[in-house]
Structure 1
């Protein structure tokens, strides 16, 4: 059976969970609490030496990490991964952008507010500025789109 190691509070883990649910995959979710240091345990590091979630273990024992690689793997052959090379490249462009320009700013600020209890004015101004810029980029791209 497919096993997903993930922290339900993580957007990277949620996007994997949502795709698997949407595609109707049967899987076992192993809650992996990042805040408790679970990703630094010997057992978890044997699955993913990078110590990051999500990590999936396929039925044959192979392990795959990195949320966007997991999305690509399970999305292949479904409507979620375009067959046209240009459209597929554009999809990957957004996935790469998300990890480089969304996650380090919006997700980090969310983590600091939600889980570390910081007030908005306690978060590094550059982080907030870059997060706003990322949101503006997404809004502009989505304007007029289906």
Structure 2
């Protein structure tokens, strides 16, 4: 049994929920509202000085942070992180792309649109964020024109990592209809056995509508 500290509207946290569901693995979910200071409390910072979610804790007290590192650990030895060293590195390359070229723009635009007031000065960043986010989506579109998945040997953790914020990119003002291969890939991900959708939330006041599932 592991404990997952996560904020349900966060794509980085939803990655873990998706993989754990695919694996059929039991876990305990602790809803941790990072948008309202839960990760800045002393007891949380004592475990994760970086003050972010997700974080997992094992029964013997070991801590792991960073969503994609956790995905790799959970998926090790399974079909979701399969292949030889070269193939696994290809999977990792897309996961690094997600964190460096995709998430900083697509996810941040979504956060600004859904979690900041209409008069926030951060909204001035939206045009540049959307420009760079569209560039990342265009890279994905090109890849998917010749490949079904981002993981090297079929659906896997690179797809989970990229699905997390791509599927809700419209929340940040992105037009996914411009990327038909991406839209088709999103549908393929949703059709995977054990797929679980992100719980809906009210963006205007960032209140969860559906409480997280505790397994």
**TM-score, with length taken from structure 2:** 0.64
- Could you tell me how far apart the structure 2 residues matched to 1:58 and 1:75 are? 16
What is the aligned partner in structure 2 of residue 135 from structure 1? 137
Q: Secondary structure at the match of 1:53?
A: coil
1:144: how far off? 2.9
- Could you tell me how far apart the structure 1 residues matched to 2:12 and 2:23 are? 17
Q: How many residues align?
A: 145
Structure 2: gaps (5+ residues) = 149-215
Runs of 4+ residues over 3 Å off in structure 1? 121-124
- Could you tell me how far apart the structure 2 residues matched to 1:59 and 1:20 are? 16
Supply the RMSD in Å over aligned alpha carbons.
1.5
1:117: how far off? 5.1
What is the aligned partner in structure 1 of residue 101 from structure 2? 101
Higher RCO, Cα 8 Å, sep 6+: 2
Structure 2 residue 50 is matched with structure 1 residue 50: yes
**TM-score, with length taken from structure 1:** 0.93
Within-5 A mapping of 1:34-113:
34-113=34-113
Q: Secondary structure at the match of 2:79?
A: coil
